[in-house]
């Protein structure tokens, strides 16, 4: 049978339940325990696909086309595994399923209630995610006591009764430091655990978030007050990097009580490579500056996977990647040469809508004309093609149908217009509730031999990367682009997947999102090549 580790949170949100869950799973996997991980989101949205990135952060896309919470990205990066749609579900999905069953008559006319029908569906989904693994780590989003989370806590209470000895609860809570009194306070955690126990769940372990070390006598006090063993009171002090947390948890002996609870032999995770990479993040030998030209900079978590992917690449190059955050909307009325002065590379990430587009195009043009290492992702590819069409091919009206629906020069056009041309159902698309079709999930891409893209992937012929977009590059312009030096270096079933410049040190743009497949131990190859070329250009220019 599968063993379940349930991670709950108390006092307030953003304490690090996701990093705690990912760290525990990483330690188990590095101990050769077959481990997977699940995130439960109590919000009523069916998925985060329609939510603003400024409000909720990044939408992480799984290989099978799921639009999921950004914590799924942390999970994949920490456990170095590919997850699926079933590793994330929401209140919206649970109620949608139950209502659909009721409409079909599956419940044979019974009155549908939270208990048992909603809780049964939650339990079914948890067990489905844990199929064929030894341990499933389950993170329950939100905070104990939230009204949205009530059915999930009830489901977990029921699950604990049916899985005696197979369920272990970790409660992440806050031990705040009051500067005026120069004291750490345990009362918030005591109240949080009291609320959890009122619901019918007793924690087996406490993970205590704090900005200061927690003295042993204070941990003893919490162990007694919360009815847990002293070796199950684990402190989680702010770290220099999130990737340090598995090391800290391992040093604190977190695995010992889990192994004892599940009847495992002593767990000894192999963390040699992990330690080397963490050291390279904390104490890098070099440094580069990348201009990050984005439009959702109010909340940096809108670009979480990309930031982490660049951190992975930097660690493998023993180099710190520093960001110069540039608001693309503000760049529209600024001197671009001043804004980009001294950077070693320019990055234009994905996005939706017209806001800030012209600022991104200015940055792309500057990188192209001044031989600055450049990487464009998704919208970044589309804008690179528009910029080239306008300023090299002389097509002044070149644009995207996303910006001008009735344009006469659709360098970028809507998916719906070419579906029939490329074989209809051969291209997997998803109908958005907001209107329009999206290409989501993993697709095969054929690489052009000898191209910068192929070299980044160790001269592979085919790769598989993930997508999340609604508009495509128009193949009707391909011949004109290539004659002028902008070549297509990646394609899939006639669709343009990557472009690059012949007469430039390193100018590459991709339609897919390479950041979604990057992990600490195996960085994405395009992003790694981007960082390597930025380092090489910095070294070359410093010598000249």
Looking up tokens 């220019």 gives: 541
Ordered alpha helix ranges (H), 370-433: 379-391
The pair phi, psi for residue 264, each rounded to 5°, is -80, 155
Residue 315 tokens, joined: 């660690």
With beta carbons less than 8 A apart as the criterion, state whether 397 and 423 touch. Answer: no
Task: Classify residue 351 by burial, with Cβ atoms within 10 Å: 0-12, 13-18, 19+.
Answer: buried
Looking up tokens 């910029």 gives: 387
Whole-number Å distance between alpha carbons of 507 and 541: 17
Whole-number Å distance between alpha carbons of 506 and 446: 20
Residue 47 tokens, joined: 């998925």
DSSP symbol at 80: T
Question: Among 38, 14, 12, 13, which Cα is nearest to 24's?
Answer: 38
Catalytic residue (one of 226, 232, 378, 445):
378
Q: Does the annotation count 102 as an active-site position?
A: no
Q: Does the annotation count 513 as an active-site position?
A: yes
Q: Does the annotation count 191 as an active-site position?
A: no
3-state secondary structure of 157: helix
**C-alpha separations of 138 from 7, 75, 90, 171, 240 in Å:** 6, 11, 13, 12, 25
Q: Dihedral through CA 268, CA 272, CA 273, CA 274, nearest 10?
A: 70
Helix axes 17-29, 71-79, angle to 10 degrees: 20
The H-or-E segment that residue 17 falls in is helix 17-29
Whole-number Å distance between alpha carbons of 40 and 45: 12
Q: Dihedral through CA 198, CA 199, CA 205, CA 208, nearest 10?
A: -70
Q: Dihedral through CA 315, CA 316, CA 317, CA 322, nearest 10?
A: -30
Catalytic residue (one of 235, 465, 497, 515):
515
Helices (H) and strands (E) in the chain, counts: 19, 24
Question: Among 434, 445, 528, 458, which Cα is nearest to 492's?
Answer: 445
With beta carbons less than 8 A apart as the criterion, state whether 350 and 468 touch. Answer: yes
Count Cβ atoms below 10 Å from residue 446 Cβ, excluding itself: 17
Looking up tokens 């670009």 gives: 303
Active site residues: 378, 513, 515
């Amino acid at each position: 049978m599968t063993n379940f580790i349930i991670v709950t949170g108390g006092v307030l949100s953003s304490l690090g339940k996701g990093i705690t869950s990912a760290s525990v799973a990483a330690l188990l996997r590095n101990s050769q325990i077959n481990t997977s991980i699940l995130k439960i989101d109590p919000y009523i949205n069916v998925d985060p696909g329609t939510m603003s990135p400024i409000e909720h952060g990044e939408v992480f896309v799984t290989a099978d086309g799921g639009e999921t919470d950004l914590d799924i990205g942390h999970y994949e990066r920490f456990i170095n595994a590919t997850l699926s749609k079933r590793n994330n579900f929401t209140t919206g999905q649970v109620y949608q399923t139950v209502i659909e069953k009721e409409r079909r008559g599956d419940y044979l006319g019974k009155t549908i209630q939270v208990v048992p029908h909603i809780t049964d569906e939650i339990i079914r989904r948890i067990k489905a995610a844990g199929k064929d693994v030894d341990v499933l780590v389950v993170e329950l989003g939100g905070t104990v006591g939230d009204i949205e989370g009530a059915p999930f806590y009830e489901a977990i209470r029921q699950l604990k009764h049916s899985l005696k000895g197979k369920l272990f609860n970790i409660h992440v809570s806050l031990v705040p430091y009051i500067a005026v009194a120069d004291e750490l306070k345990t009362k918030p955690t005591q109240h949080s655990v009291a609320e959890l126990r009122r619901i019918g769940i007793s924690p087996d372990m406490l993970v205590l978030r704090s900005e200061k070390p927690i003295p042993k006598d204070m941990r003893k006090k919490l162990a007694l007050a919360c009815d847990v063993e002293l070796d199950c009171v684990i402190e989680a002090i702010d770290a220099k990097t999130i990737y340090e947390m598995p090391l800290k948890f391992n040093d604190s002996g977190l695995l010992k009580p889990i192994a004892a609870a599940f009847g495992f032999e002593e767990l000894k995770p192999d963390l040699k490579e992990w330690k080397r990479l963490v050291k390279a993040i904390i104490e890098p030998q070099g440094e580069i500056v990348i201009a990050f030209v984005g439009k959702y900079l109010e909340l940096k978590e809108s670009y979480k996977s990309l930031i982490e992917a660049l951190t992975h690449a930097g660690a493998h190059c023993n180099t710190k990647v520093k960001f110069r955050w540039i608001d693309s909307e503000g760049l529209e009325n600024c001197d671009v040469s001043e804004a980009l002065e001294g950077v070693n590379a320019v990055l234009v990430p994905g996005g939706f809508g017209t806001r800030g587009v012209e600022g991104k195009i200015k940055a792309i043009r500057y990188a192209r004309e001044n031989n600055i290492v450049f990487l464009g992702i998704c919208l970044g590819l589309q804008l690179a093609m528009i910029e080239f069409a306008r300023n090299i091919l002389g097509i002044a009206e070149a644009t995207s149908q996303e910006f001008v629906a009735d344009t006469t020069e659709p360098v970028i056009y809507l998916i719906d217009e070419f579906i029939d041309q490329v074989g209809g159902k051969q291209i997997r698309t998803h109908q958005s509730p907001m209107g329009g079709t999206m290409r989501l999930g993993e697709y095969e891409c054929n690489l052009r031999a000898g191209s910068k893209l192929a070299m980044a992937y160790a001269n592979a012929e085919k790769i598989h990367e993930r997508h999340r977009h609604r508009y495509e590059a128009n193949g009707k312009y391909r011949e004109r682009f290539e004659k002028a030096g902008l070549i297509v270096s990646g394609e899939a079933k006639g669709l343009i997947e990557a472009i690059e410049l012949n007469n430039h040190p390193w100018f590459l743009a991709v339609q897919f999102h390479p950041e979604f497949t990057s992990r600490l131990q195996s960085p994405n190859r395009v992003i790694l090549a981007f960082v390597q070329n930025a380092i090489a250009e910095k070294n070359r220019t410093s010598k000249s």
